[in-house]
Amino acid sequence: MSRLLKFNIFRYNPQDEQSEPHMQEFVLEETDSMTLFIALNRIREEQDPSLQFDFCCRAGICGSCGMVINGRPGLACHTKTRDLPGEITLLPLPIFKLVGDLSVDTGSWFREMYTKTESWIHTDKEFDPNALEERMDNKEAVAIYELERCVECGCCVAACATARLREDFMGAAGLNRVARFLIDPRDQRTDNDYYEIIGNDMGIFGCMGLLACEDICPKHLPLQNQLGFLRRKMGITSLKRLFKK
């Protein structure tokens, strides 16, 4: 016998003057292998066509569907209702600007982050279409990819205490991005260049190291290692800079 699931969903449409933030209850019969993707679409198609939420790949690879599920930020598409109690509370991710209901604007936040971190290879080498590719060690390539796996879902930012206190905090995702370029041999930036970007309270020195980000990351990125690595590296750079003065 399948369960009747009770959903408490945050509702607010900022574009509608008559809309007030509130929680709304929906009831749905659970089916086999039901995910929140299936459940929310059914609620929209059968009960309330105005319900806003974001899904894209629905396969855990694009990062669209971050939301707070029973108190914990996560990807809704790979959350099975079977793993949740009969009562499910869904809230939009905090910190990001609300678009409506469960939908938030992660795009603007991340675009700002990668403008700030200048998230691209800095090199003065020109591409030569007639030459062989430049060689790279496979281990290095794999290590870079390991950090590039971030899907920009925003869950780590939503779970971060510093990000709640400081609007300009780069978050684990931003710091991880810097680490990705720092270990890339193609990028010619120096430690000093990176210090300009993250050697402050908006960056690595704002992080309190409480681990929430790594705990929550649905892609299991090694965020703590990266934060530790950057803190040491920037600490040393900071000292070097002091002595230079």
Partner 1 sequence: MQTIYTDLLVVGAGLAGERAAVEAADAGFSAICLSLVPARRSHSSAAQGGMQASLGNSVMGEGDCPDVHFADTVKGSDWGCDQEVARLFADTAPIEMRRLAHWGVPWNRVVPGKSIYYKGGKQFEKVEAQEKEGLIMARSFGGTAKWRTCYTSDGTGHAVMCTMDNRCAQVGVEVHDKTEAIAMIQDGETCYGVVARCLRTGELRVYLSKATMIASGGFGRIYPNTTNAVICDGGAHTMCVNTGVVPMGNMEAVQFHPTGIVPTDILVTEGCRGDGGTLLDVDEKRFMDKYEPEKAELASRDVVSRWMTHHMREGHGVKSPYGEHLWLDIRHLGEEHITGKLREVYEICTSFLGVNPIHQLIPVRPTQHYSMGGVRTNKDGAAYGLKGLYAAGESACWDMHGFNRLGGNSLAETVVAGGIIGKKIAEYLEGCETEFKTALISDTVKAQQARIDALVSGSNGSENVYKVRAAMQDALNKGANIFRTEEGLKECVTTLQDTLIRSKNVGLRSNGRGVNPELAAALKLEGQVKMALMLAYGALMRTESRGSHNREDYPARNDRDWLTRTLAYWKKPDDDLPTLEYEPATSVVEIPPGDRGYGKSEIISADDKKE
Could you give the string, one character per residue 28-67, with x where binding to ligand FES holds by CB under 6 A and - elsewhere? ---------------------------xxxx-xxxxxx--
Regarding 211 and contact with ligand FES (CB under 6 A), the answer is no
Report DSSP state, residue 144: H
How many chain residues bind ligand FES (CB under 6 A)? 12
SS (H, E, C) 161-182: HHHHHCCCCCHHHHHHHHHHHH
Site stretch for ligand SF4 (CB under 6 A), options 123-131, 136-144, 171-179, 189-197: 171-179
CA distances from 10 to 56, 68, 70 (A): 20, 10, 12
Regarding 150 and contact with ligand SF4 (CB under 6 A), the answer is yes
Chosen from partner 1, ligand SF4, ligand FES, none, partner binding at 221 (C-beta under 5 to 8 Å by type): ligand SF4
Regarding 176 and contact with ligand SF4 (CB under 6 A), the answer is yes
Residue that is written with structure tokens 């908006």 in the block: 202
Helix/strand number for the chain, H first, E second: 9, 7
Q: Which is nearer to partner 1, 30 or 214 (CB)?
A: 30
Regarding 20 and contact with partner 1 (CB under 8 A), the answer is no
Q: Which is nearer to partner 1, 54 or 214 (CB)?
A: 54
Report DSSP state, residue 58: S
The single residue among 1, 20, 25, 33 that binds partner 1, judged by CB under 8 A, is: 33
The single residue among 77, 212, 230, 234 that binds ligand SF4, judged by CB under 6 A, is: 212
Cβ 196 vs Cβ 178: under 8 Å: no
The identity of residue 148, as a single letter, is E
Site stretch for partner 1 (CB under 8 A), options 117-125, 156-164, 206-214, 237-245: 117-125
Q: Which is nearer to ligand SF4, 44 or 231 (CB)?
A: 231
Task: Give the whole-angstrom CA distance, residue 73 versus residue 101.
Answer: 15
Chosen from ligand FES, partner 1, ligand SF4, none, partner binding at 85 (C-beta under 5 to 8 Å by type): none
Cβ 209 vs Cβ 227: under 8 Å: yes
The single residue among 5, 77, 144, 216 that binds ligand FES, judged by CB under 6 A, is: 77
Residue 162 exposure: Cα atoms within 13 Å on the Cβ side: 19
Closest CA to 101 of 163, 24, 156: 24
Cβ 171 vs Cβ 110: under 8 Å: no
- What Rg value do the Cα atoms of the chain yield, rounded? 21
**Shortest Cβ distance from residue 131 to ligand FES (Å)?**
38
CA dihedral (100, 102, 55, 74) positive or negative: positive
Regarding 59 and contact with ligand SF4 (CB under 6 A), the answer is no
| Interface contacts to ligand SF4, rule CB under 6 A | 150-156, 159-162, 171-173, 176, 207-213, 216-217, 219, 221, 223, 227
